[in-house]
Structure 1
Amino acid sequence: MRVLFAGTPEFAAEHLQALLDAPEFEIVGVYTQPDRPAGRGNKLHASAVKQLALKHGLVVEQPLSLRNEEAQAQLARYEADVMVVVAYGLILPQAVLDMPRFGCINVHGSLLPKWRGAAPIQRAIWAGDSESGVAVMQMAAGLDTGPVLYAVSTPIRTDETSATLYQRLAELGPPALVHTLQNLNSLQATAVPQQDSAATYAHKLTKEEAQLNWQLTALELERWVRAFNPWPIAWLTTAAGEVVKIWASHVLDEQTNKSPGTVVRADKHGIAIQTKHGLLVLETLQPAGKKPMAAVDFLNGRSDWFTVGSVLPPSATHES
């Protein structure tokens, strides 16, 4: 089977490696995002997929768009049986979707139709879902709307962060993709159309959204801390106006008569903040320009940032 692969980050590279390890697939070309400035000095940095492709001597294409005739003509020259798309980052127009003999196949980090869109892993934790998974679907013109060919699921643990769930899905996805391609004819014949009425959308994350909103419950905020780890990292503003990132927290099902945002306790066990319901206990904090540290170490030098009884400013990015 002649496979054209399109993907960009490490998650996609894991899937490309699985195809390279399977002898029945011939990778005829690789599409990935253009090199981007990164790191100190803003030097151009090749994507994880490009680095892997070049290591194996594969041809790499990096168009800015696939909407123009020249880019589509170039893609057609590969005469692929199927195009596999994993976290590529470019929209595929209908002309491209129809080009390969078996169409285009996408690996998506959710149990579709739940969490279509850009941030399915983070949104699943953010919403308190009990499970996530990987869906391999036949691509259609809409956003993650095509029929599901094959899916595998995994529980979301109560201590799950986006980083840990991402890694587990990166392990589940490649064998699911290989299984799908090995059984493509039969799976396409029995593909399950998605029910749009059951769809939810995983909107792209923003740094502004990661500001903790004390008008929510401690349970909700603890999920947010895990969902926004490792990016963009949940954060708050102290009463003194200092921005602090929160890497880990836990919930105390304890209610006081304090207003949401009030610092109830600050000791070696953590910094307890009153929320709409319950206390959110901050365990690992990161002041600007410093590394993440345990609450006890944070308080050793900055106890005045979380004076008991002080009230943290409300979030400017969420409605109460």
Structure 2
Amino acid sequence: MAGERETGITMIRLVRQMDAGPMLARAVYPIGEDDTSEMAERALGVLGADLLLSTVAALASGQAVEEEQNHARATLAPRLTREDGRVDWAQPADTVRNLIRGLHPWPHAYTFLHSTRYLLLRATVEPLAEAERLAAPAPVGTIIEALGDRLHVACGQKTVLALHEVQPEGRKRLSTRAFLAGRAIAPPASFHSVAGPA
């Protein structure tokens, strides 16, 4: 959600305090540009299994080297709630996209169009030149263009998010093309952070 470029797995020796033991092994996973938290979690599962096997082997052979953690740099991951997925369109497009990627598959980034809640499943950020052409006069949250495979939405700092996949609450996920085929959405309709009138 914060746009981190890498994550990883660390094996530690257990002590009485939470997450305070010395490190035995570490492995880094570079987060891809299109990775969601689900994709990273799957990759970390494979990486973690391999790291566990090599750590157990190092412990068994007496070759494991312990390294103390830097407790001054320790951070706690916050507990996520459904409310964390509420999109603030005043944020720059890359911040909104990171929210979408980071909260997939749960609790999902979401927004409202009229009274309907939509989960946002896949998006890209438009290049700066295109964003300047599209977003100059548009208030944040405005659907600027509804093209076949994307919805251009105005975001903060005159940036533009291209939505490629959405899911109306209680329905199946839809490509933007399928979404537009079933709804009459014409710019300048707007997404909002709270439900509006139907």
TM-score, normalized by length of structure 2? 0.86
1:284 to 151, 165, 173: 165
Q: For residue 106 of structure 1, what is the aligned residue in structure 2?
A: none
Larger Rg: 1
Higher relative contact order (CA 8 A, sep 6+): 2
Aligned residues: 186
Write out aligned runs for 1:89-168 (5 A): 126-168=1-43
Q: Is the aligned partner of 1:197 residue 2:78? A: no
How far is the alpha carbon of 1:315 from its aligned partner? Answer: 5.9
Q: For residue 302 of structure 1, what is the aligned residue in structure 2?
A: 183
How far is the alpha carbon of 1:144 from its aligned partner? Answer: 2.0
1:225 to 84, 88, 100: 100
Residue aligned with 1:202, SS: coil
Q: Is the aligned partner of 1:272 residue 2:152? A: yes
Q: Is the aligned partner of 1:249 residue 2:123? A: yes
1:311 to 165, 190, 196: 190
Q: Percentage identity across aligned positions?
A: 26
Residue aligned with 1:193, SS: coil
Residue aligned with 2:10, SS: strand
For 1:24-72, what per-residue CA distance to the aligned partner results, in whole angstroms no more than 9, with x for missing partners? Answer: xxxxxxxxxxxxxxxxxxxxxxxxxxxxxxxxxxxxxxxxxxxxxxxxx
Q: Aligned partners of 1:171 and 1:144: how far apart in 2?
A: 21
In structure 1, give the amino acid aligned to 2:147: D
Gaps of 5+ in 1: 1-125
Q: Aligned partners of 1:129 and 1:201: how far apart in 2?
A: 15
Q: Aligned partners of 1:151 and 1:195: how far apart in 2?
A: 14
User: Does the 8 Å contact 2:103/2:109 carry over to 1?
Assistant: yes
How far is the alpha carbon of 1:181 from its aligned partner? Answer: 1.6
Q: Aligned partners of 2:10 and 2:68: how far apart in 1?
A: 12
User: Does the 8 Å contact 2:86/2:193 carry over to 1?
Assistant: no
CA distance change for structure 1 residues 143 and 241 in 2, over 3 Å: closer, same or farther? farther
Q: Aligned partners of 1:226 and 1:249: how far apart in 2?
A: 9
In structure 2, give the amino acid aligned to 1:221: V
Q: Aligned partners of 2:39 and 2:147: how far apart in 1?
A: 29
User: Does the 8 Å contact 2:11/2:23 carry over to 1?
Assistant: yes
2:138 to 258, 265, 268: 258
User: Does the 8 Å contact 2:87/2:111 carry over to 1?
Assistant: yes
Q: For residue 293 of structure 1, what is the aligned residue in structure 2?
A: 174
Write out aligned runs for 1:73-88 (5 A): none
RMSD: 1.8
In structure 2, give the amino acid aligned to 1:301: G
How far is the alpha carbon of 1:142 from its aligned partner? Answer: 3.4
Q: Is the aligned partner of 1:235 residue 2:110? A: yes
Q: Aligned partners of 1:145 and 1:217: how far apart in 2?
A: 36
Q: For residue 171 of structure 1, what is the aligned residue in structure 2?
A: 46
Q: Aligned partners of 1:146 and 1:259: how far apart in 2?
A: 50
